[in-house]
């Protein structure tokens, strides 16, 4: 079963994303900020990361930059944010994201991109 780490400081958002992914047969884990996510990423195997940008202590950009700098097997990352007007999309890709989505993400959208990034097709 594919393992997905959902990283967001908002508990409701984590629950929403995890419910969608679990209902499609994925295993999920959660982290409330980049620091906790990095600790989990260095000690567990994940097939995909779903990363919020604005989080206290370590934001999504910092997390991805740190993750990509580590000599560990890398997995794709979907970066999600409430912001669409700023240059966040470019920053997300520069940090190492494979995809940038604006919240709120619809269930079909999340599952479609998850399957594509996991190489499962649609």
Exactly one of 7, 50, 105, 111 binds another protein (CB under 8 A); which one? Answer: 105
Which member of 1, 12, 25, 119 binds another protein (CB under 8 A)?
12
Strand 77-81, strand 99-102: pairing: parallel
The residue (of 36 and 88) whose beta carbon lies closer to another protein is 88
- Helix runs in 24-102, H state only: 34-43, 60-69, 88-95
25, 69, 73, 87: residue in contact with another protein (rule CB under 8 A): 87
Whichever of 34 and 47 has its CB closer to another protein, that residue is 34
Select from 23, 74, 82, 94 the one that contacts another protein (CB under 8 A): 82
The single-letter DSSP state of residue 50 is E
Assess 7 for contact with another protein (CB under 8 A).
no
β-bridge pairing 99-102 and 48-52: unpaired
CA distance 40 to 70: 13
Q: Does 65 bind another protein (CB under 8 A)?
A: no
Cα 34 to Cα 57: distance, rounded to the nearest angstrom:
7
């Amino acid at each position: 079963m594919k393992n997905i780490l959902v990283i967001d400081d908002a508990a409701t958002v984590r629950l929403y994303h995890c419910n969608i992914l679990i209902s499609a047969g994925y295993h999920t884990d959660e982290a409330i900020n980049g620091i906790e996510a990095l600790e989990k990423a260095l000690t567990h195997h994940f097939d995909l990361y779903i990363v919020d940008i604005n989080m206290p202590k370590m934001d999504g950009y910092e997390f991805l930059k740190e993750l990509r700098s580590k000599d560990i097997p890398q997995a794709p990352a979907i970066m999600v944010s409430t912001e669409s007007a700023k240059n966040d999309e470019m920053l997300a890709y520069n940090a190492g994201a494979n995809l940038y989505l604006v919240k709120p993400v619809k269930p079909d959208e999340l599952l479609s991109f998850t399957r594509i990034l996991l190489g499962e097709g649609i």
